[in-house]
Amino acid sequence: MPKRVRVEDAVQWCRKQSPLAFALLQKWASGRLSAPDLQQLALAAVQTGIEDESVQELASLGARGRHPQNIQRDLLKLAHTSLVPPSIAVTCARLDPKSNAVDVGQVPMKLPAQWMEMLCCRSLLFDSMFGTERSLKEFWQQARPEQDPRLRDSPLLKKRNWQQRCVPLLLHGDAASFQNYDSLMTISFRGLLSAQAGMQDHLWICSFPKSVTAPGEEGTMHALWSWISWSLQALFDNVWPATDPWGRSLASDPMLGSKIGKPVLPNGFFAVLYGYMGDMDEFQKSLGTRHQASDMPCHLCGCNRTDVPWNDFSSAAKWRSSGAGCQKDLSHPIFKAPGVSIHSLCLDVLHVLDLGVTAHVIGNVFLAYVLRGARAAQFRTLWSFIQEHQRQSEHGKPLSTFALSNFTNPKAISTTYPCLQHLKAAQVRCLVPVALRLALAEFRDDEDIQQVTKNLNLFYTFLYESNIVPTAAQANSGFKSLNRMLQSYQRLAARAVEEGKCMWSMVPKHHYSAELCKQGRYLNPRFCWTYGSEDYVGSIAELGSSCLKGCPTFHMPFGLVEKLDVGLTLELALRL
């Protein structure tokens, strides 16, 4: 493991790196450059005539490359990583992928309480990642705990000075492919009020390959989540516990034993998990929420497939008044953390809207236009229209290519429900105003198509322009626009059934989008969408892939965290 020295020494080490040395270290720490390649490039730079101490140090690794097997070892000795907390080694079950036998091993973790304790020593870093005292006070003053289901029964409200001292956190869990037939599960967290953008605000907690994950309540993830819940409890109580998640004494623990009874954060600050970010697959498979294909497909209400239909979006829909039907039979460890309930699960714009309902709306509008004439000619006109009206902005990414197969099956148009596919979520969002312009220009005689695109565009406007806690007027505007869109979509779906057309299909994500806009009344979904989180998980998977050479899959997280420590130290030092 990299040596741990004073924070000041780590900052000084990072600052003395020349631009070339810094770039080489960053590429190695992100998994894009091997340690021998780093040494070779540094040596080549020195031989070219670069006289820089930091580059010369890199060039000297492994006895100037004569012993390449020692280069990474020497690099880890050279690096200073005291800007990040040390990892704890958690003992848990793991799976042997060859024999399917379960044995016991260790997994490295950096708990949220460790991160926050470390970063609070650097107020500039802490404020940028978790919010200043002023931003905390403003956020909680805008919150409406008596109405927000996340806060209504939270023990947070019984804490003293919670509006001035409580730091709201977001957690994210997801997996990404990192080798053939295997994916890497990564859990991270960030401050809800972080001033950083995208993936830069995420703090790593743990990663573990799914192929060696032991299932069940005695399995790998249950143990890791139990430690995360334990850490969240410590942050809420603002004191380091004397026992581990299973009640065993930590007095002899070399990492946590010396912290027992001490405050985690200074000046009475504490933290609470405000939301868990993820896609429906993560919620249903990992957390155990109701599956979308079950008789009761929603964990937030009592809708079903019979007398309380999930696909009824009228104002008088029965599920709107069945909030008591939300799921309560959840045993996942995260629900033991203070203030965490089924309402803490943040429905995600990227998966529910962009790659869900929005893709359906735009795919149907585009196909309806193509079917108005000769398909080839109509599609060429459609692509010209898209190119003319799409615009690159912070709210989306324009398309460079487009085909009929991006929204239907060209060989079976009459039997395939249209939906945008093989596009990035940001590209789908970019097409929302294009679809609106197309509907207004070409479907003047169809009020429902105009309304479905108009109200969808209005909801995206609400996302882009509303505050983190929407005002009452903003919340009502967003809520009404998405519900009106769903009502128009429902009428179009009914019309398609009557006409025998394979269009305007209804899927559970339509219902989840209605629940999303209900959550959006109290927290703008833009502030908890998973765009940056997905990028972060992908970057960790890439890093994990670079650590597999000559290493058993179950031991890979230890190699990953060694590189991650160096990369995070470099990144955090830049912010000081």
Q: What is the pLDDT of residues 518-545, one digit of tens each?
A: 999 999 999 999 999 999 999 999 999 9
Q: What is the DSSP string of 278-315?
A: --HHHIIIII-PPPTTSSS--SSS--BSSSSBTT--ST
pLDDT at residue 8 is higher than 90: no
Single-letter amino acid code for the residue at 314: S
Task: Please tell me what DSSP assigns to residue 556.
Answer: H
Question: Which pLDDT does position 322 carry in this prediction?
Answer: 63
Closest CA to 364 of 178, 456, 502: 502
pLDDT at residue 318 is higher than 50: yes
Q: What is the pLDDT of residues 132-142, one digit of tens each?
A: 889 999 999 99
Question: Which pLDDT does position 150 carry in this prediction?
Answer: 93
Band (pLDDT 50/70/90 cuts) for residue 562 is: very high
Question: Which pLDDT does position 6 carry in this prediction?
Answer: 65
Measured in degrees and rounded to the nearest 5, phi and psi for residue 91 equal -85, 125
Question: Which pLDDT does position 197 carry in this prediction?
Answer: 61
Q: What is the pLDDT of residues 349-380, one digit of tens each?
A: 999 999 999 999 999 999 999 999 999 999 99
Strand partners, 88: 109
Instruction: Provide the 3-class DSSP secondary structure of residue 276.
Output: strand
The crossing angle, in degrees rounded to 10, of helices 472-499 and 358-370 is 40
Question: How far apart (Å, rounded) are the C-alpha atoms in residues 228 and 270?
Answer: 16
| Alpha carbon 232 to its chain's center | 18
In the chain, the largest separation of any two C-alpha atoms, in whole Å, equals 79
Q: Which residue has the higher pLDDT, 117 or 393?
A: 117
Band (pLDDT 50/70/90 cuts) for residue 323 is: low
Q: What is the pLDDT of residues 112-133, one digit of tens each?
A: 999 999 999 888 889 999 998 8
Cβ–Cβ contacts within 10 Å for residue 117, how many? 20
Closest CA to 294 of 335, 341, 324, 327: 327
SS3 content of the chain, % helix, strand, coil (to 5): 50, 10, 35
Question: Which pLDDT does position 195 carry in this prediction?
Answer: 75
User: Taking the model in full, what pTM does it have?
Assistant: 0.94
Band (pLDDT 50/70/90 cuts) for residue 324 is: low
Find the mean pLDDT for residues 4-30. Answer: 87
Pairs from 310-315 (Cβ < 8 Å, separation ≥ 24): 310/508, 310/511, 311/490, 311/506, 311/510, 311/511, 312/490, 313/483, 313/486, 313/487, 313/489, 313/490, 313/510, 313/514, 314/487, 314/490, 315/483
In the block, tokens 């060429």 appear at 380
Tokens representing 419 are: 């939906």
In the block, tokens 């007027």 appear at 473
- What's the mean pLDDT when you consider all of the chain? 93
Find the mean pLDDT for residues 39-54. Answer: 95
Q: For a pLDDT cut of 90, what percent of the chain falls above it?
A: 85
Measured in degrees and rounded to the nearest 5, phi and psi for residue 236 equal -70, -45
Question: How far apart (Å, rounded) are the C-alpha atoms in residues 55 and 50?
Answer: 8
Q: For a pLDDT cut of 70, what percent of the chain falls above it?
A: 97
Strand partners, 207: 186
For 92, 108, 237, 249, the CA distances from 242, given in Å and listed in that order, are 20, 20, 13, 6
Q: What is the pLDDT of residues 55-72, one digit of tens each?
A: 999 999 999 999 999 999
Measured in degrees and rounded to the nearest 5, phi and psi for residue 276 equal -110, 120
Instruction: Provide the 3-class DSSP secondary structure of residue 521.
Output: coil
Question: How far apart (Å, rounded) are the C-alpha atoms in residues 420 and 28?
Answer: 37
Single-letter amino acid code for the residue at 443: F
pLDDT at residue 513 is higher than 80: yes
Band (pLDDT 50/70/90 cuts) for residue 106 is: very high
Question: Which pLDDT does position 5 carry in this prediction?
Answer: 47
Question: How far apart (Å, rounded) are the C-alpha atoms in residues 85 and 256?
Answer: 12
pLDDT at residue 38 is higher than 70: yes
Strand partners, 182: 179
Tokens representing 175 are: 């997996």
Dihedral sign from CA coordinates of 135, 137, 140, 142: negative
pLDDT at residue 198 is higher than 70: no
Beta strand pairing call for 270-277 and 203-209: unpaired
Question: How far apart (Å, rounded) are the C-alpha atoms in residues 180 and 160?
Answer: 51
Question: How far apart (Å, rounded) are the C-alpha atoms in residues 21 and 14?
Answer: 10
